[in-house]
Amino acid sequence: MKNKILVLALAMLLASCLYEKGGVINPENVTGTTNTGSASTIDTGTAICDLLSGTGGSAATNENGEICFDTQILPLIVSNCATSGCHDSQSKRDGYDLTSYDKIVRKGVTAGNASKSKLYRVLNDTGEDRMPPAPKSRLSASQIKLIGDWIDQGAKNISCNTSSSTGGTLPDSVQISFSNHINPILDFYCVGCHTSGSASGGVNLNSYANVKTYVDNGRLYGSIAQQQGYSAMPVGSKLSDCQIMAFKQWIDQGALNN
């Protein structure tokens, strides 16, 4: 009887932890989950950090449930829109520079009303005006919803960057998965700039084989850890301590295609 009570108590404790941050986690394999509904649970590969430590992930919302600009919106816009030849500070295509908060909200964003915001409309467009333009892939429905929700919430410059926090540790025993933990981070923060047809700096990260090339030469970790001598990535922001640690642990475990 005591054993049954103990098992039940542990199950209840685990269930409460799983929903503290980062959306629903699969307790069977401790992987990230993709959510196409609530913007606050969009998958950026941080679920394993949130589950194991309770802190250190790249937060989706602040304590008031407001979407974080620095960790969710800016990296998404920069990696997909503020690229060379489009809306970076040099190109400013059609007069739009989308490299910082002040420049993003300067025009094309009607705070509090996504449907009246050009930024949101072109993301949903299926014709010639859609952004990012072909041959680049469209943002996913959940990514577009995230931006729309941010605008509807007032397009606020809310910071949730936890890169300098002391939390977010990962036990050495945790097996990091490329498909479940590493690739979602790359997809959200990097692939918009580093994919076929628009490989900024000649770096293409749209497949495991390509990623492994930059693992082997040290450039991937050097850039995301923003070490001296490497180009700091993502542009304009930094991954959380836990996300960076997940990359290091995955590399130390052999950088497997798992």
Distance CA 217, CA 124 (A): 38
Joined tokens for residue 95:
């007069």
Query: Environment class of residue 243 by beta-carbon count within 10 Å: exposed (0-12), middle (13-18) or buried (19+)?
Result: buried
Joined tokens for residue 112:
């509090």
Alpha helices in 107-227 (DSSP H): 118-124, 141-152, 183-189, 208-216, 219-224
Residue with tokens 């919106």: 73
Distance CA 221, CA 11 (A): 37
Residue 46 has pLDDT above 70, yes or no: no
Name the DSSP letter for residue 82: S
Label residue 91 by pLDDT band (50, 70, 90): low
- pLDDT tens by residue, 151-203: 999 999 988 765 444 345 677 778 888 988 888 888 877 876 777 666 677 78
CA-based nearest residue to 151, from 121, 109, 182? 109
**Residue 117: what pLDDT?**
94
Residue type, 237: S
Collapsed DSSP state (helix, strand, coil) of residue 106: helix
Least confident stretch, 73-87, 114-128, 205-219, 235-249: 73-87
Contacts of 236 (CB under 8 A, 6+ apart): 74, 75, 78, 99, 100
Q: How many CA atoms lie within 13 A of 176 on its CB side?
A: 28
Distance CA 102, CA 96 (A): 12
Percent of the chain with pLDDT over 70: 67
Name the DSSP letter for residue 99: S
Distance CA 184, CA 180 (A): 7
Joined tokens for residue 35:
């959510």
Collapsed DSSP state (helix, strand, coil) of residue 181: helix
- pLDDT tens by residue, 93-151: 777 888 889 989 998 899 999 999 999 999 988 877 888 777 777 888 888 999 999 99
Query: Environment class of residue 8 by beta-carbon count within 10 Å: exposed (0-12), middle (13-18) or buried (19+)?
Result: exposed
Label residue 256 by pLDDT band (50, 70, 90): very high
Joined tokens for residue 136:
């680049």
Distance CA 55, CA 59 (A): 9
Work out the mean pLDDT of the chain and round it to a whole number.
Answer: 73
**Residue 150: what pLDDT?**
94
Which of 8-12, 135-139, 145-149, 234-238 is the most confident on average?
Answer: 145-149
Rg over alpha carbons for the chain, rounded to the nearest Å, is 19
Distance CA 201, CA 123 (A): 25
**Residue 18: what pLDDT?**
30
